[in-house]
Amino acid sequence: MALVPCQVLHAAILLSYCSILCNYKAIDMPAHQTYGGSWKFLTFIDLVIQAVFFGICVLTDLSSLLTKGNDSQEQERQLKKLISLRDWVMAVLAFPVGVFVVTMFWSIYMYDRELVYPKVLDNFIPAWLNHGMHTTVLPFVLIEMRTTHHQYPSRSCGLAAVCTFTIGYILWVFWIHHVTGVWVYPILEHLSPGAKIIFFAGGTVIINIFYLIGEVLNNYIWDTQK
């Protein structure tokens, strides 16, 4: 895809995420006023990740346009650093976390929505915003993978980074429960200590699988031999 269409696409997606974040933060929900605020929800963290990622994409597009036809080696070096950062965020955070949020949310939602998204939230969050947080993330990240080639880090480094993020978030969830006595997600209230360990271990495995799927998909799409 040509540079200008990709540039417009990145800008449009970035604006959509900014709109979703602003509308979400404007909602007067009790959960926003408790310890951790919006940052205790993986959905919100993922929205920030996606917005930052597409912000980097827009910045990369602008830098590419500015350096086009320019022989400055310093500018080329800075552009390569920016591209490396963009690719790393896509590989380690934007794709695996985004796909994990969408698949896990809708899987649990279809089983029993009260475990992850109680019906009372419909009074605060409109349907379009719910889909903006839990649905459109997947097509956006797939479109990005199809339109832009991303250089993945070594598999060991990539998986280590994904595990670090996942374990960090799990510890954050346990810390919030330690401080408030309330679990971030209703489903955790129904699980025994052993079941919680299995639940979090399973989630860690799944998000690592999504990292591997992203790597395989990226290589398949951009395999120059094919």
- Mean of all residue pLDDT scores within the chain: 91
The pLDDT tens digits of the residues spanning 174-220 come to: 999 999 999 999 999 999 999 999 999 999 999 999 999 999 999 99
For the chain, strand residue ranges (E) read none
Query: What's residue 160's pLDDT?
Result: 97
* Residues of the chain below pLDDT 70: 1-4, 69, 71, 224-226
Query: What's residue 222's pLDDT?
Result: 87
Q: Is 77 exposed, middle or buried, given 0-12, 13-18 or 19+ CB atoms closer than 10 A?
A: exposed
In angstroms, rounded to a whole number, what is the distance separating the alpha carbons of residues 115 and 190? 9
Stated pTM of the model: 0.92
Work out the number of other CB atoms within 10 angstroms of the CB of residue 165.
18
Query: What's residue 145's pLDDT?
Result: 93
**Of 45, 51, 53, 33, nearest in space to 172 by CA:** 45
